Structure 1
């Protein structure tokens, strides 16, 4: 999920204490057409390259407002960069610092609980998820938060997106993840401008009560803006951003209430995807092969 909701006034990335990542070197590599590969960032310099891509997309192509420090560094960063794993798609035919063409930021529950929690907690009360017995069974890795996703304009195609998902799938498998979650963004800061798609999500994809996170009270924006009989479901679905549509097709739930993020110029919704809800026909997105028969 693209999460652009929590951007903290923090030192530059190089000044932060980094969570050790001994597994990064051993993370499985996927190569497409001999040109693209997906893997975890293995160094601070590679993380900086992903931050530079995020800066270009969020602050130059989109309407996000960078801090002076971000503008000076030409990188998007916050305190969670030091804790997260950074999934990269690298164009191996490009030399130099601009070869990272896609990225996702991954934060596992075990890491979040050792520090200050998940960054989505700035927008949503995550209590229903954190102790849920189905999502936190013994011997499993629990939850994983996805965020800061972006792909360079000239690589926004099926091959790059599928490669990112192959990387996410391998990471999920390696850490026995039970559910993915995060905030996905609709453009603009007026929820009423998205009355049809927000109402459609509320009436058709709201999470079950025991899994239903809710926007924090001081940031809560109503999603139930239209009665169900006034919604054209097909048009409302097509009005959703591609990322949200993709998660809905995979079986995702939506949290209650939207959140306006003025820094990034977006209206955010909470997305929860329990791994067990992912339909078999979509396992091709994850490239799990015969492992699909060993779910759970």
Structure 2
């Protein structure tokens, strides 16, 4: 069973319905907590029952500081049952032959900003990937809010440097999208502004060799913009892979 303790934080798989309740409550705070009148609630959907849920807790207090869910996909032919497939046409990935896992609903408690939390979370994902033989990690990476104008430098950098290989490029499926690869052809990204406005999860994907769709989906229910993100495990730079395994070990 996945379990990882490093410094102040420890990651583990959810074991009880109460564990999942805690994760869903944290997801509500992270994704919907700043919505007027949101109050306290529970973020859940039908995919929760199909996933393994990972909790990252502060060792001293037991406080839940981060959570995410993992949905194993045996091969590309099954990718249509993923959460991401609701929003993106993933036909190009149907020919992917190796095992995959979808990383979803990744969030941290809004009041915490310790980078070690993300480090432990990625260590836990690395252990899961190594133990299960996963060859590709994918999911949706979310920007806070639905105003694309706030992230033009980030989207311009994604267009310039990080688009998916053509054979795997997700096609448009959602009704409301921002086609940044088309719209920002003439824009040169300010690297500092781009990196400063990117969500930490997406920055980590990109540092490991990840790639993204050429458009962002406007998700008004969650109040986010998200891009499909993929990462082939074998494409992770050797130094980065060693660092991740050092945390996971």
Q: Please state which band the TM-score falls in when normalised by the shorter chain.
A: 0.7 to 0.9
Which residue of the partner structure matches residue 44 of structure 1?
A: 17
Displacement of 1:205 in angstroms is 1.0
- Say which SS state the counterpart of residue 75 (structure 1) adopts: coil
Question: What residue in structure 1 maps to residue 207 of structure 2?
Answer: 249
Partner of 1:10: none
SS of the residue corresponding to residue 161 of structure 2 reads helix
**Quick one: distance in 1 between partners of 2:217 and 2:104?**
16
Which of structures 1 and 2 has the bigger CA Rg? 1
* Alpha-carbon shift at residue 182 of structure 1 (Å): 0.9
User: Given that residues 64 and 264 in structure 1 are in contact (C-alpha distance below 8 angstroms), is that contact kept between their aligned partners in structure 2?
Assistant: no
TM norm structure 1: 0.74
Q: 1:161 to 1:131 in 2, by over 3 A?
A: same
Secondary structure, counterpart of 2:47 in structure 1: helix
Q: Say whether the 8 Å CA contact 1:65–1:263 is kept in structure 2.
A: no
SS of match in other structure, 2:159: helix
Does 47-56 or 183-192 show the bigger shift?
Answer: 183-192
User: 1:252·1:274 contact (CA, 8 Å) conserved in 2?
Assistant: yes
| Residues 156, 247 of structure 1: alpha-carbon distance in 2 compared, 3 angstrom cutoff | same
* Corresponding position of 2:152: 195
User: Is it true that 1:181 corresponds to 2:138 in the alignment?
Assistant: yes
Corresponding residue number in structure 1 for 2:67: 103
Verify: 1:165 aligned to 2:132, yes or no. no
- Specify whether residues 199 and 289 from structure 1 end up closer, same or farther in structure 2 by C-alpha distance, changes over 3 A only: closer
Change (3 A) 1:182 1:47: same
1:181–1:273: 8 Å Cα contact kept in structure 2? yes
CA shift, 1:272, in A, is: 0.7
- Normalised by the length of structure 2, the TM-score is 0.87
Relative distance call for 1:178 and 1:111 in structure 2 (3 A) is closer
Q: What are structure 1's unaligned runs of at least 5 residues?
A: 1-25, 292-296
- The partner residue of 1:92 within 59, 77, 83 is 59
Query: Against the structure 1 CA distance between its residues 204 and 100, is the aligned structure 2 distance closer, same or farther, given a 3 Å change threshold?
Result: same
Distance 1:153 1:192, change over 3 A: closer
Task: Report the Cα offset of residue 265 of structure 1.
Answer: 1.5
Change (3 A) 1:229 1:290: closer
Partner secondary structure for residue 175 of structure 2: helix
Counterpart residue number, 1:277: 235
- The root-mean-square deviation of aligned C-alpha atoms, in Å, is 2.8
Give the corresponding residue for 1:31.
5
